[in-house]
Amino acid sequence: MKRLTTVQLETPPGESLLTITDQVKAAVKDSGVADGICIVFVPHTTAGLIVNSGSDPATAADIGSELRRLVPTRVDFQHTYDTPADAAGHIKVALTGTSVSLIVSGGELALGRSQSLMLAEFDGPRQRKVLVRVMADPA
């Protein structure tokens, strides 16, 4: 019974959306929880989480390009300690969020048929962690 799992990921350079559904499903299975809540959390400030369609890579590309349109990489960010891409990444994560709560039912994640869980990397390449905590409903 493993209630907390840490998923390790190596992200590619720049921005990317990496599907982590299978790793989270495996963590749910390892937890032995039949019915409850699965909280997925990314303990980073330039990587977030998105639940969306993972079946067509073009969707991920559209999400990425729209986030770039909303938050262009520019030179006049106030946070200049790292790079402009890093500063933009902080804002993009503020939009995506860093955690999602998912329902566990019958020992499975209750995701929609087209839904995938994706790590949104905004300043790769990095080594990222995703924490998965599974809690059973009260008896």
Which region among 36-44, 60-68, 82-90, 100-108 touches another protein (by CB under 8 A)?
Answer: 82-90
**Interface size with another protein, residues (CB under 8 A):** 17
Considering only the stretches 1-9, 15-23, 104-112, 118-126, report the one whose residues sit in contact with another protein under the rule CB under 8 A: 118-126
Question: In terms of CB distance, is 29 or 68 closer to another protein?
Answer: 68
Between vectors from CA 45 to CA 58 and to CA 20, what angle results, nearest 5°? 45
Could you give the CA distance from residue 133 to residue 139 in angstroms, rounded to a whole number? 18
Binding mask 8-47 for another protein (x = CB under 8 A): -----xx---------------------------------
* Residue 139 contacts another protein per CB under 8 A: no
Q: Please spell the DSSP secondary structure of 10-77, one letter per residue.
A: EPPSEEEEEE-HHHHHHHHHHHT-SSEEEEEE---SSEEEEEEE-S-HHHHHHHHHHHHHHS---S--
Q: Minimum Å distance from CB 84 to another protein?
A: 5
